[in-house]
Amino acid sequence: LYEIDDPDAPGENAYPGAMPSPDDADRVYGEVYALTDPKTVLDAFDIYEACSPDHAEPHEFALRRVPVAMEDGSTRWAVSYLYTWDVSTAQHIPSGRWTKVAPDVL
C-alpha cells in the first residue's frame, strides 16, 4: 500500500494506492462488500477512478481479481482497484492500513 499525492494538491489530498507485491507477507486491510448489481456499481466506480473505456490510458487504477484473507481464516476472491503508476516517489505504508481521510471527503 502506498500514499499517493494528488498532483493537483500535493500533501493535501493524498489517497491510497494498493499494488501487487512479490512478498506473500504483505497485506492491505480493507472491507469486502457483496454487490447486488456489480456491473452498474463497478461501471460507476470505473468513471470515478478514471479507468473506464472513455478515459485516456494509461489508467491510474485497474480493476483486478484478488484473493482476500477473511477474518475467519478463509480466502475469498474479490475485485479491487490496484494502482498502476510509478510509486518510486510515493510513501510505502508497511502496515497495509490507510488511516487518513482526505479533507474533501469530510
Q: What is the mean pLDDT of the chain?
A: 90
The pLDDT value given to residue 104: 55
- Where in the sequence is the domain holding 54, given as residue range(s)? 2-105
How do residues 66-102 score in pLDDT, each as one tens digit?
999 999 999 999 999 999 999 999 999 999 999 987 5
Is 6 within 8 Å of 14 (Cβ atoms)?
Answer: yes
H or E segment to which residue 43 belongs: helix 38-48
By DSSP bridging, strand 91-92 and strand 75-83 are unpaired
Helix (H) or strand (E) holding 76: strand 75-83
pLDDT above 70: residue 11? no
- Counting the structural domains of the chain, the total is 1
Distance CA(5)–CA(14), nearest Å, equals 4
* Residue 89 DSSP code: T
* Rg over CA atoms, the chain: 15
Q: 27 and 69 in contact (C-beta within 8 Å)? A: yes
Is there a contact between 102 and 15 (Cβ–Cβ < 8 Å)?
yes
